[in-house]
């Protein structure tokens, strides 16, 4: 890839990670190499199971303990996020990957696991040939301004509002 951009999927609606994974699937189909780093998340979700079948063209690492973070973050959660940021940065700079996805990095920022300054530094270090995708709700204006493509997912209606839980194969 000669020119890579920074894409940001944000907003309070469903579909941010799904959009990033759809892009990963498209990139895989085009013969590109993908690095997916998931912040906060941990677990063998259906999409992760599917993507692992594409190894070695899609590399997946999770940098979380699989728990919601409310209030002051736990030091273990902070360590996981910083390991993720360092690994993702190294993968991006290595130029081994055409597409680097930082899934829920904005959530990690908003919960205090990492700072805006660190995310902006990641964006600034992006090689011209790498596509960088950031996901997570409530992206700060600074991050929006430093992104080339910004898509906001807006919830209009969701079955969760009627008490319907997550469904295997649809939400996880």
Rounded to an integer, the average pLDDT of 52-77 is 89
Residues 6+ apart with CB under 8 A from 131: 1, 4, 5, 7, 27, 98, 99, 100
Contact criterion met (CB below 8 Å) for 127 and 90 = no
pTM: 0.92
pLDDT at residue number 108: 97
List the CATH code of the domain at 6-159: 3.40.50.300
Is 80 exceeded by the pLDDT of residue 1?
no
Asked if 34 and 91 touch (Cβ cutoff 8 Å), the reply is no
110-164 confidence digits (pLDDT tens): 999 999 999 999 999 999 999 999 999 999 999 999 999 999 999 999 888 899 9
Per domain, the residue ranges of the chain are 6-159
């Amino acid at each position: 890839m000669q020119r890579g951009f920074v894409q940001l999927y944000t907003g309070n609606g469903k579909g941010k990670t799904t959009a990033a994974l759809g892009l990963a699937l498209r990139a895989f189909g085009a013969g590109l190499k993908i690095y997916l780093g998931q912040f906060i998340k941990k677990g063998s979700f259906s999409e992760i199971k599917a993507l692992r079948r594409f190894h070695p063209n899609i590399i997946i690492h999770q940098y979380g303990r699989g728990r919601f973070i409310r209030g002051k973050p736990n030091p273990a959660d902070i360590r996981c996020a910083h390991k993720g940021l360092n690994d993702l940065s190294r993968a991006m700079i290595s130029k081994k990957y055409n597409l680097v996805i930082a899934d829920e990095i904005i959530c990690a920022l908003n919960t205090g696991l990492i700072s805006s300054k660190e995310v902006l530094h990641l964006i600034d270090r992006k090689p011209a040939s790498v596509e960088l995708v950031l996901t997570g709700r409530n992206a700060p204006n600074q991050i929006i301004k430093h992104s080339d493509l910004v898509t906001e997912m807006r919830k209009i209606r969701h079955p969760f509002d009627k008490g319907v839980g997550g469904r295997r194969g649809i939400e996880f």
